[in-house]
Amino acid sequence: MAAKPGTASTTYSPVDPTHKTKPSIFTDSDWVRPDSRGFHQCRPAFFRTGAVNSASGSAYAEFGNTKVIVSVFGPRESKKAMMYSDIGRLNCNVSYTTFATPVRGQGSDNKEFSSMLHKALEGAIILESFPKTTVDVFALVLESGGSDLPVVISCASLALADAGIMMYDLVTSVSVSCLGKNLLIDPILEEESCQDGSLMIACMPSHYEVTQLTVTGELSAPNLSEAMQLCLDACAKLAQIMRSCLKEAASAAEE
């Protein structure tokens, strides 16, 4: 797909995707983010529940260019092969569409996203309320624009609430990227590809408890505590947006 320099341009030649973007431009002190957000500003969040009619509960989330749809099925009878269990089971699956990434079929990191989604949600769901049954959570990333896993986690907990599964609290998730000395919240794809370190937190805002936490790359200790504080504040605000979305959906259903 790389453009050959020097050929007569009667044929379509796309921009060479391997052109080297120097990461040093990101450490300029007066650098502005590509979508002109502040360093500590999240993308505007759009949530809608009830996106999938045939599922017990579903939600659609759009954060800038990251679009995710999650559907929840259950509680359904566990497969006969599974052992008896007096608490419920949670089964999570995250998959990427082939057109989600700029290069077709490249959702490569998503093998561990399913288990990370499971860990983020299992602390919040009251599994004792549906013994012997399984709740299935299927997440589909329609477009990957950066910060995919946090959006998937927030959308999944909204879908679970829409399905009426009993939970201790909504789970919201935000990630922070460290580029040089700057901490950027809610990074987009270009920022993620040249980050020095990143922190992703999934938490239950009302309980002020962290259910999932990952740190990649190098983060010094003061950066780490500042990044955690940023994430927790952003999670609290995101929870309010999710709650108002649920209230709207409930009041619309009543009319």
Partner 1 sequence: MVGLSEGEKEFIKGGIAQDLRSDGRKRYTYRPIYVETGVIPQANGSARVRLGATDVIASVKAELGKPSALQPDKGKVAIFIDCSPTAEPTFEGRGGEELSAELSGALQRCLLGSKSGAGAGIDLSSLIVVEGKVCWDLYIDGLVISSDGNLLDALGAAIKAALSNTGIPSVHVAAGASNDEQPEVDISDEEFLQFDTSGVPVIVTLTKVGKHYIVDATSEEESQMSSAVSISINRQGHICGMTKRGGSGIDPSVILDMISVANFVSRQLIEKLDSEISAAEANEEES
Q: CB-wise, 194 or 241, nearer to partner 1? A: 194
CA dist., res. 162 & res. 164, Å (int): 5
Q: CB-wise, 69 or 201, nearer to partner 1? A: 201
What are the CA-CA distances from residue 91 to residues 49, 68, 76, 78, 106 (Å)?
Answer: 20, 18, 11, 10, 24
CA dist., res. 139 & res. 61, Å (int): 11
Q: CB-wise, 102 or 254, nearer to partner 1? A: 102
Q: CB-wise, 20 or 253, nearer to partner 1? A: 20
Q: CB-wise, 62 or 192, nearer to partner 1? A: 192
CA dist., res. 10 & res. 15, Å (int): 15
* Residue 149: CB minimum distance to partner 1, A: 12
* Residue 240: CB minimum distance to partner 1, A: 19
E strand or H helix that includes residue 254: helix 221-254
Q: CB-wise, 207 or 247, nearer to partner 1? A: 207
Closest C-alpha to 174, from 149, 209, 193: 149
Peptide bond into 75 cis (omega under 30): yes
* Residue 55: CB minimum distance to partner 1, A: 25
| Residues of the shown chain interacting with partner 1 in the complex, contacts defined by CB under 8 A | 18, 23, 111-112, 115, 119, 122-124, 192-198, 203-204, 207-221, 224-225, 228, 232
* Residue 168: CB minimum distance to partner 1, A: 9
* Residue 210: CB minimum distance to partner 1, A: 5
* Residue 112: CB minimum distance to partner 1, A: 4
Asked if residues 78 and 134 have their Cβ atoms less than 8 Å apart, the reply is yes
Q: CB-wise, 98 or 206, nearer to partner 1? A: 206
Q: Please, what's the b/e burial string for 9-23 (b: 16 or more CB within 10 A of its CB; e: otherwise)?
A: eeeeeeeeeeeeeee
* Residue 11: CB minimum distance to partner 1, A: 21
Asked if residues 165 and 210 have their Cβ atoms less than 8 Å apart, the reply is no
CA dist., res. 192 & res. 36, Å (int): 16
